[in-house]
């Protein structure tokens, strides 16, 4: 079914509704209209990294971990698995007449906001700080969820439109001020790419952007989304964001005015209850029936595309047994393996193989399920923590486990009774695996929690909380061979002393239900780490721009002059890959085709993440230092030599003027090909250089 056919079906159904019935369908809890044979429908479903909040599902690595794979094809497969499980669960829900919240097929994912500030608590839900990486990952996930058949397998929704990335504590009244240049260079490209890819939903943000609420924004919604981009899907408010229009932003005086304004600007669906006031707005002539009908047709077009009104419901043959099936478990494990980023490996300390017989697994996240899940998660039938993974993989070693400290401190003395047990285990061990980090109880969406390094979901420093810092220093003092795993959704600095003493450091994000097994396999050497950082890591005491400042000046690898702790795109493996003989083999109107020779000079088979960066100048505007513009993951065996082809679309090599216009650079253009960003620190840490190609 094409969208025109679906819209015709929607128009036919909506034409039979009364005004009050149409209004009732514009709330996320859309009631049944029995006389028309229409069932109730709840639009609210989540799927940031698997079907969420609806009991059993495959729990994939959190979105920031999926971004760290730098593997769009893999994330497309994850999206396909998510929609298979969504349909399987939906089929059973319908069978048992359960049409409640989290039981439908409209998923409010992916979150494609730009993780411009590593302190933002919801950054874990995103694909990182780079517009290109966020775009290709977002598009891959959307296409995986929606499928390419006659009907949508499920409907994805790109959120939160737009210019939204903290702070959490003031999001209901905050005004994000942004220039046209930053808007079109950084904040909008991923949304534009998802719209071009056919995403069926766009969710508005809580905040204002340049003075207007994002769910009633003239420029963003009317001029850009609907007119310039020609968006054909439905627009939904973030939950209770319409109420913020009059309560938080004081942009209108009454809920009736807020509801009318949002509807007229193009918000078709209200997650919340403010649209209950649309009937009063209609009677007060703030809106007319055409406004209501237009919105109802949009939401019903999506329901038609999902096949809800067909006699033979599509995808009804997908069995419930597909939920967390062996195929999806294998995909989950593969994704977790590719998400882990090796930050330090002193003198090739890893992999461990079977060299050590006594392993201590220590830390508040050693046995934590929440540290596997992240937020916006489902419930896995099985979890493999780091401790359990090490037991399974290191079968000939004796593994002792200790907690060592609490996750955080509120009084300053929590967890002291745990330290001696951890030190006892570490002092007796040949090697200690120290599992630090966070979980969704302290890092995430708006919350009341306040403590050292945390404020209502956001972080105030990238240092780990003091109980964990003390544990790390103490463990490094009693064991010579310490490997540190950090499980959290944002950058982390272990401190200079611990960074120096640790033999190896791995950033593992929230790695999903099987994350502990993936990590153990990497430590053992069954798999080489291949993750790359999708966000820049800065030192914990670095003075960064205020989180309320939305200018891209001195932000991200593109514009920051601050020396990072670890750069965007960085990550080690167990082999070295040499890049050479990069040439442009073809140039057409849209793309460059690059051919690069690669050689694995080490002894391990690896999965490498080829990255293409552009550096260009333009006399009319400031340009980024570097800009990621191409990706090509590939497998390469030990000592193997091969040629890799990668396409670079010219639209990703654009200078953005102050008025937001994108232009082809009038200065020199260079492309860099390699396994990391072409900055001095990356080349120093990775000990190999990117290949430079002059385009003009």
Quote the CA–CA distance of 141 and 156 in Å, as a whole number. Answer: 8
Distances (CA, A) of 292 to 41, 204, 623: 18, 19, 44
Q: Where in the chain is the domain with CATH 3.20.20.300?
A: 3-321
Task: Return the pLDDT at 413.
Answer: 63
Contacts of 232 (CB under 8 A, 6+ apart): 3, 198, 301
Per residue, what are the HEC states of 618-665? CCCCCCCCCEEEEEEEEEECCCCEEEEEEEEEHHHCCEECCCCCEECC
Residue that has been written with the tokens 């043959």 in this structure:
317
Q: What distance in Å separates the CA atoms of residue 10 and residue 4, rounded to the nearest whole number?
A: 10
Averaged pLDDT, 596-609: 97
Is the per-residue pLDDT at 414 higher than 70? no
CATH architecture of 3-321: Alpha-Beta Barrel (3.20)
* CATH assignment of 577-694, among 3.40.50.10610, 2.60.40.1760, 2.60.40.10, 3.40.190.10: 2.60.40.10
Mean of the per-residue pLDDT values for the chain? 97
The two structure tokens encoding residue 123: 């950054």
**100: Cβ–Cβ under 8 A, 6 or more apart, which residues?**
42
In the chain, ranges of CATH 3.40.50.1700 domains: 333-552
Q: Which residues 6+ apart lie within 8 Å of 685 measured at CB?
A: 566, 567, 570, 572
Site of tokens 């429908």: 41
Residue 42 CA to residue 85 CA, distance in Å, equals: 18
Are the beta carbons of 538 and 491 closer than 8 angstroms?
Answer: yes
Give the SS3 label for residue 164: coil
The overall pTM is greater than 0.85: yes
Under DSSP, the state recorded for 693 is E
What integer pLDDT is reported at residue 409 of this predicted model?
A: 84
Eight-class DSSP state of 60:
P
The answer to whether the beta carbons of residues 448 and 457 sit under 8 Å apart is no
The angle that helices 289-305 and 255-265 make with each other, rounded to 10 degrees, is 60
Domain ranges in the chain with CATH number 2.60.40.10: 577-694
Residues 6+ apart with CB under 8 A from 98: none
CATH class of domain segment(s) 333-552:
alpha beta
The per-residue pLDDT for 629 is 98
pLDDT confidence bin for 1, thresholds 50/70/90 = low
pLDDT at 154 over 70: yes
pLDDT tens sequence across 108-135: 999 999 999 999 999 999 999 999 999 9
Strands 201-204 and 157-161: parallel
For residue 604, what is the DSSP state? S
Name the burial class of residue 251, with classes exposed (0-12), middle (13-18) and buried (19+) by CB atoms within 10 angstroms of its CB: middle
Task: Give the integer Cα–Cα distance in Å for 619 and 604.
Answer: 46
pLDDT band at residue 452 using 50, 70 and 90 as cut-offs: confident
Catalytic residue numbers read: 238
Query: Any idea what the Cα angle at residue 115 is, between residues 102 and 500, rounded to 5°?
Result: 115
* Average pLDDT for 197-218: 98
CA distances from 107 to 62, 101, 505 (A): 16, 11, 35
For every residue of 170-228, DSSP letters joined together read: GTTT-EE---HHHIIIIISHHHHHHHHTT-SEEEE-SSEETTEEGGG-IIIIIIIIIII
pLDDT at 208 over 70: yes
In angstroms, the CA 475 to CA 359 distance is 13
Confidence band, pLDDT 50/70/90 cuts, at residue 417: confident
H helix intervals, 378-524: 386-393, 416-428, 466-478, 496-501, 515-524
Average pLDDT over residues 320-331: 98
Which pLDDT does position 481 carry in this prediction?
Answer: 98
pLDDT tens per residue across span 35-58: 999 999 999 999 999 999 999 999
Across 591-619, average pLDDT: 97
Among the listed residues 626, 612, 622, the one whose alpha carbon sits nearest the alpha carbon of residue 681: 626
What is the rounded distance in angstroms from the CA atom of residue 123 to the CA atom of residue 605? 32
Measured between alpha carbons, how far apart are the two ends of the chain, in Å?
45
% residues pLDDT > 70 (the chain): 99
Three-class SS state of 598:
strand
């Amino acid at each position: 079914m094409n969208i025109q056919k679906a819209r015709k079906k929607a128009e036919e159904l909506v034409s039979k509704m009364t005004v009050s019935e149409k209004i009732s369908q514009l709330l996320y809890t859309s009631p049944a209209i029995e006389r028309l044979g229409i069932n109730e429908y709840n639009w609210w479903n989540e799927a940031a990294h698997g079907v969420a909040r609806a009991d059993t599902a495959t729990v994939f690595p959190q979105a920031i971990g999926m971004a760290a794979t730098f593997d769009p094809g893999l994330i497309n497969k994850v999206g396909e698995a998510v929609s298979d499980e969504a349909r399987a669960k939906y089929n059973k829900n319908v069978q048992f007449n359960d049409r409640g919240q989290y039981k439908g097929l409209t998923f409010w994912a992916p979150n494609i906001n730009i993780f411009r500030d590593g302190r933002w608590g919801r950054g874990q839900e995103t694909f990182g700080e780079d517009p290109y990486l966020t775009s290709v990952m977002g598009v891959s996930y959307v296409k995986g969820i929606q499928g390419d058949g006659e009907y949508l397998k499920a409907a994805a929704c790109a959120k939160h439109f737009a210019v939204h990335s903290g702070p959490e504590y003031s999001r209901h009244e905050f005004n994000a001020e942004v220039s046209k240049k930053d808007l079109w260079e950084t904040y909008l490209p991923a949304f534009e790419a998802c719209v071009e890819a056919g995403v069926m939903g766009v969710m508005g943000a809580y905040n204002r952007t340049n003075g207007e609420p994002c769910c009633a924004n003239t420029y963003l919604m009317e001029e850009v989304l609907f007119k310039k981009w020609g968006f054909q899907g439905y627009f939904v408010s973030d939950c209770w964001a319409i109420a913020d229009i009059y309560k938080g932003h004081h942009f209108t005086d009454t809920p009736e005015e807020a509801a009318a304004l949002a509807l007229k600007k193009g918000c078709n669906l209200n997650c919340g209850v403010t649209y209950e006031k649309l009937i009063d707005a209609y009677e007060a002539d703030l809106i007319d029936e055409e406004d209501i009908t237009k919105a109802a047709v949009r939401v019903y077009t999506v329901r038609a595309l999902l096949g809800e009104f067909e006699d033979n419901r599509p995808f009804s043959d997908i069995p419930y047994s597909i939920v967390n099936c062996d195929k999806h478990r294998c995909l989950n494990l593969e994704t977790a393996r590719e998400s882990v980023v090796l930050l330090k490996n002193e003198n090739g300390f890893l992999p461990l193989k079977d060299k050590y017989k006594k392993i201590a697994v220590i830390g508040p996240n050693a046995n934590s399920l929440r540290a596997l899940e992240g937020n916006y998660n489902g419930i896995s039938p099985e979890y493999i923590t780091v401790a359990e993974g090490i037991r399974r993989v290191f079968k000939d070693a004796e593994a002792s486990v200790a907690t060592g400290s609490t996750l955080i401190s509120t009084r300053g003395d929590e967890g002291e009774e745990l330290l001696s047990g951890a030190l006892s285990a570490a002092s007796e061990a040949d090697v200690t695996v120290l599992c630090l980090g966070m979980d969704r109880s302290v890092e995430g969406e708006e919350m009341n929690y306040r403590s050292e390094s945390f404020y209502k979901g956001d972080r105030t420093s990238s240092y780990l909380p003091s109980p964990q810092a003390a544990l790390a220093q103490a463990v490094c003092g009693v064991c010579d061979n310490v490997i540190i795993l950090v499980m959290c959704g944002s950058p982390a600095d272990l401190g200079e002393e611990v960074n120096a003493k640790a033999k190896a450091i791995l950033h593992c994000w929230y790695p999903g239900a099987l994350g502990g097994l993936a990590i153990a396999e990497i430590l053992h050497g069954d798999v080489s780490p291949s993750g790359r950082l999708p966000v820049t890591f800065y030192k914990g005491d670095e003075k960064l721009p205020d989180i309320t400042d939305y200018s891209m000046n001195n932000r991200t690898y593109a514009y920051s002059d601050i020396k990072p702790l670890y750069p965007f795109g960085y990550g080690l493996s167990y082999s070295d890959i040499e890049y050479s003989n990069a040439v442009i083999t073809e140039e057409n109107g849209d793309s460059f085709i690059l051919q690069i020779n690669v050689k694995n000079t080490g002894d391990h088979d690896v999965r490498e993440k080829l990255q293409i960066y552009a550096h260009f100048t333009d006399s009319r505007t400031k340009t980024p230092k570097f800009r990621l513009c191409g990706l090509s993951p590939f497998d390469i065996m030990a000592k193997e030599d091969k040629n890799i082809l990668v396409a670079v679309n010219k639209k990703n090599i654009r200078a953005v003027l102050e008025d937001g216009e994108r232009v082809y650079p009038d200065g020199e253009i260079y492309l860099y090909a390699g396994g990391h960003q072409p900055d001095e620190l990356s080349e120093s840490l990775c000990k190999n250089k990117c290949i430079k190609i002059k385009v003009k």
